[in-house]
Homo-oligomer: A and B are copies of this chain.
Amino acid sequence: MSQPSMSEALRGVVRRDLLLAMRHRSDVAMSVFFVVIVASLFPLGVGPEQAVLRMIASGVLWVTALLACLLSLGRLFTADYLDGVLEQTLLIPQPLAVLVVGKVFAHWVISGLPVVLLSPLLGLQFGLSGDSLWVLTLSLLLGTPTLSMLGAIGAALTLGLRGSGLLVALLVLPLFVPVLIFGAGAVTSSLAGIGSEANLSLLGACFLLSLAFAPWATAVALRIALE
């Protein structure tokens, strides 16, 4: 009887999503552009003073990263749902939560990782320097996978609903708040010279916690959505 091994299925899921992204190279760049543009809008709205900008840098950059994640959540399951690939995924003889981890990982590679890699540059734009730049990058590296995982729950719950773009925002933004607070807090405290270990380890804890529960909740939500 044919049956793929777990790692084979996982790799298959990741490969398909990355292949799709590669088909449109520009997709990968998209979340980077989004972050760059939105981050550049703030100086336009707020005014150009360096002191103010440095003060708001961590908050603005983190909120932007978070919005980029939010915007790209639509891609996570919707297309698969509409073209029937999702129901086929549910029929793969492997635990759904594992496959969800694969999908979320691919999503993060496409939409989260580029933002992390870009963040030092953005930090510079807002007048951050040295240590705090690194803390910013590290906090994003720890935080964005958590965002993707939490976001997946919301995306699965609102699958196929009207106006789900905004509904998913309503659902997941509250869940994102702790990540935002710890992430931005890490940068702020490093700017204040307090040391950011506490915040970073809280971020790590969030990551582990969501890794443990989010894929499972997402799997349940997907099954419900497809009933």
Q: Please list the residues of chain A having a beta carbon within 8 angstroms of any beta carbon in chain B.
A: 20, 23-24, 26-27, 30-31, 33-34, 37-38, 41-47, 52, 55-56, 58-60, 62-63, 66-68, 71-72, 74-75, 79, 82, 162-163, 165-167, 169-170, 173-174, 176-177, 180-181, 184, 188
What residue in chain B is nearest A163 (Cβ atoms)?
A: B27
Knowing that A34-B170, A45-B60, A72-B165 are A-B contacts, what are 5 other residue pairs whose CB atoms are under 8 Å apart, sorted by A's residue number? A23-B162, A27-B162, A27-B163, A45-B180, A82-B82
Copies in the assembly, this chain: 2
Chain B residues whose C-beta falls within 8 Å of the C-beta of A169 in the assembled complex: 30, 33-34, 37-38, 71
Query: Which B residues touch A68, using CB under 8 A?
Result: 166
Q: Can you name 28 A-B residue pairings with CB atoms under 8 Å?
A: A23-B162, A24-B163, A27-B162, A27-B166, A30-B163, A34-B166, A34-B170, A34-B173, A37-B173, A41-B59, A41-B176, A42-B60, A44-B59, A44-B177, A44-B181, A45-B58, A45-B63, A46-B56, A46-B58, A46-B60, A47-B55, A52-B52, A52-B55, A67-B67, A71-B169, A72-B166, A74-B165, A79-B162
A180 with B41, Cβ < 8 A, contacts A59-B46, A162-B20 known? yes
Residues in B with CB closer than 8 Å to A63 are 38, 41-42, 45
Q: Chain A binding site: helix, strand, loop or mixed by DSSP?
A: helix
Nearest B residue to A73, CB-CB: B165
Interchain nearest-CB distance for A119 vs B (Å): 14
